[in-house]
Amino acid sequence: MTDIVKRNARAILLDGDALVLIKRTKPGREPYWVSVGGGVEEDDATIEAALHREVFEELGGKLAHAELVHLITDELESGVGVQHIFAARLESMDLAVRTGTEFSKPERGGYEVVRVPFTSEAVRELNLMPPKLADFIAANTDAIVSVLDTPIREA
């Protein structure tokens, strides 16, 4: 059995009809886009709790609804990395209260919050990382919206 050495929680984050992403700019590299999210920490109660924490750290945001929709695995030197991909709706955002440590480190480059139309065409035009995530989103925009728009029934 392979050890899982790194877990991440990421959001395909919708705000109305727009996809919320972070545009990364670093000296000497072409700009690229990433979804909101990051590593699961030891004190996160669940992977979804890690997602909520990351959304707050990176956007000062709160989620209205999140559903696990995809997993991306990567082979790492000492095991496997698993990215848990959630479809989520943004309830609120206040960039003035975001707390991520990356924002106080200019050497890490720029982190610009951007909204792009949530269409296959718009996603394919971006240099969205990782490419596996870009492919999944572009192939499943209707399904992702359907998952988020389906009412949750209590058992």
Q: Which two tokens stand for residue 145?
A: 């919206």
Could you report the per-residue pLDDT of 20-36, keeping only the tens digit for each?
Answer: 999 999 888 999 999 99
Q: What percent of the chain has pLDDT over 70?
A: 92
Residue 2: pLDDT over 70: no
pTM of the model: 0.91
What pLDDT sits at residue 76?
86
What pLDDT sits at residue 87?
98
Specify if 29 maps to a domain. yes
CA 138 – CA 123 distance, rounded (Å): 6
When pLDDT is averaged across residues 95-116 and rounded to a whole number, the result is 83
| pLDDT tier for residue 78 given thresholds of 50, 70 and 90 | confident
Which residues, in sequence order, are bridge partners of residue 62? Answer: 92
Residue 1: pLDDT over 60: no
Specify if 109 maps to a domain. yes
Task: Decide: residue 17, CB within 10 A, 0-12 exposed, 13-18 middle, 19+ buried.
Answer: exposed
Specify if 96 maps to a domain. yes
Specify if 155 maps to a domain. no
Tell me which residue range forms the domain holding 44.
Answer: 4-149
Specify if 62 maps to a domain. yes
Specify if 40 maps to a domain. yes
Contact 23, 110 (CB under 8 A): yes
Domain count along the chain: 1
Q: What is the mean pLDDT of the chain?
A: 92
What pLDDT sits at residue 84?
98
Which residues, in sequence order, are bridge partners of residue 7? Answer: 82
Find the CATH number of the domain harbouring 40.
3.90.79.10
Specify if 113 maps to a domain. yes
DSSP for 9-37, written as a single string: EEEEEEETTEEEEEEEEETTEEEEEE-EE
| pLDDT tier for residue 103 given thresholds of 50, 70 and 90 | low
